[in-house]
Amino acid sequence: MDQRELTHFNAQGRARMVDVSDKPATKRKAVAVSTVRMAPETLARIRQGGVEKGDVLAVAQVAGILAAKKTPELVPMCHPLPLTGIDIRFAFPDDRTLRIEAEVTTTAPTGVEMEALTAASVAALTVYDMCKALDKAMVIGPTYLVEKRGGKSGDFVRDEAPDAQWG
């Protein structure tokens, strides 16, 4: 793709925040996932509420919600958006993996993919922070967009999850 085709560059080829003032506000949703791989004993303690720092999943959930709201402060070209919903869900696909799913919704002129990705990432980082005394070998990732709904570019739904080696 030619640099002139990218709307995130100005006439000098420098990054800019895209002007979305002429775009209509539409309903949008994005879902992102991050995983944290850890020792089975660490995951068992998280599930049982046996981590000394507190309820890991409750803290990670609040951290993910806050992170979605703070995305434009962390990612320079993101627009501040009126987020209308944020949900963080947890699953345990096996005895070593915590799956974190972040869903973010808005009615705005631009999408919420970055907010969902930020929420999932910060929730995963929070799990690491709260459990690092138990398991410094935890691995975060992959983190990826699962789906995006609404907007000019249309919907996107990932067919399958990438693995940790995916590039």
The domain locations on the chain are: 21-153
Specify whether 22 is catalytic.
Answer: no
Residues 6+ apart with CB under 8 A from 38: 96, 97, 98, 131, 135, 137, 138, 139
Average of per-residue pLDDT across 154-162: 89
Determine the residue type at 61: Q
Q: Which of 2, 129, 159, 163 is catalytic?
A: 129
CATH (residue range 21-153): 3.30.70.640
Which residue would you say has higher pLDDT here, 2 or 42?
A: 42
Which residue would you say has higher pLDDT here, 8 or 148?
A: 148
Residues annotated within a binding site: 77-79, 114-115
